[in-house]
Amino acid sequence: MDVYAQNGVTPVPVIKTARLELRPMALSDVDAIVPQLNNLDVTRWLSVVPHPYTKDDAIWFIEENLAGRAASWSIFKDDTLIGNVGGGDAHGYWLGQDHWGQGYATEAATAACAHHFATTDDVEITSNYFLGNVGSANVLGKLGFLPTVIGTSHCVATGANVQSQGMVLIRTRWESIHNA
């Protein structure tokens, strides 16, 4: 059954990179997502993801995507779900801890940004990371994001307000870096 068609929503396309496949989110992803996001070492770097993370949380998020109120991909490596990357003009991502430090976040985020700029007229994409999250700072820097302002974000998983670095990626900068 095509849930997207039933909802009148155009799904995000499947995107293949050198090592990964980005697929539209599906309810079949729930059992792979929950244990990865039920890890505080992952969720402490994310603003809106609760801890503990439950099956109901995963179902809610996937249903938001199926209804077109969010747009993100499940990231697969060799048919194993390893994370998620958001599309649109506000960029976010996470990887299960076992997949950190292997370049997957950069690869998936590059594909999501390329898709966004190729399919919209938007002139920028925004993002942010919690100060101390060196991995995300590095990913965004590799993509060409530049720092804007330091602010405060609430982390639902820890219940704490944390400093976050705002970032922006301007289309012309993206094109100069990635179309060279």
- Tally Cβ neighbours within 10 Å of residue 69: 10
Question: Could you tell me which residues are beta bridge partners of residue 83?
Answer: 75, 95
Domain 3-178 has CATH 3.40.50.300: no
Distance CA 175, CA 180 (A): 7
Q: How would you write the pLDDT of the chain (180 residues) with one tens digit per residue?
A: 444 444 455 678 999 999 999 999 999 999 999 999 999 999 999 999 999 999 999 999 999 989 888 889 999 999 999 999 997 889 999 999 999 999 999 999 999 999 999 999 999 999 999 999 999 999 999 999 999 999 999 999 999 999 999 999 999 999 999 985
Distance CA 41, CA 178 (A): 31
Question: What is the enclosing helix (H) or strand (E) of 21?
Answer: strand 21-24
- What global pTM score does this model have? 0.92
Q: Beta strands 124-130 and 80-86: pairing type? A: unpaired
Q: Where are the domains of the chain?
A: 3-178
